[in-house]
Structure 1
Amino acid sequence: MDEHRIRHRAYEIWEQEGRPEGRRAEHWERACRELQEEDERAKEQGPEPRDRVRAAADSGAGI
């Protein structure tokens, strides 16, 4: 998983909770969980629409 994404999400969580001190590890773990769930949902839904168009173009579909 991309460390930059985790750091950004952990920072968002920290801000949403009022910037509490001493909860860095908790915010990091929560960010990891949320992003992993987000990635799993995205895989289940398949590629993004623009990726489907690209895949169709790459495969020669529609020719």
Structure 2
Amino acid sequence: MTFSRASGHLIIIDHTRVPDALRGKGVGQALAEYAVSRARAGEWKIVPLCPFFKAQSRQHPEWSDVLQ
């Protein structure tokens, strides 16, 4: 997962890549969940530009507190 800091409390997630050997094993989901947990701990907001992360955020309305 790649991201950049737009400010002290705003990160932009722009790409998620999982090696072919690990696809379908929940690794991408685990990365997304970790990003959300870190955002909550750091009181950051996430701008989800990554198509995978954006799709996951639609499936997880409970993440809305960290999305911008």
Structure whose residues are more often strand by fraction: 2
TM normalised by structure 2 equals: 0.34
Structure 1 or 2, whichever has the larger Rg, is 1
The structure, 1 or 2, with the larger RCO (C-alpha pairs under 8 Å, 6+ apart) is 2
Relative to the length of structure 1, the TM-score reads: 0.36
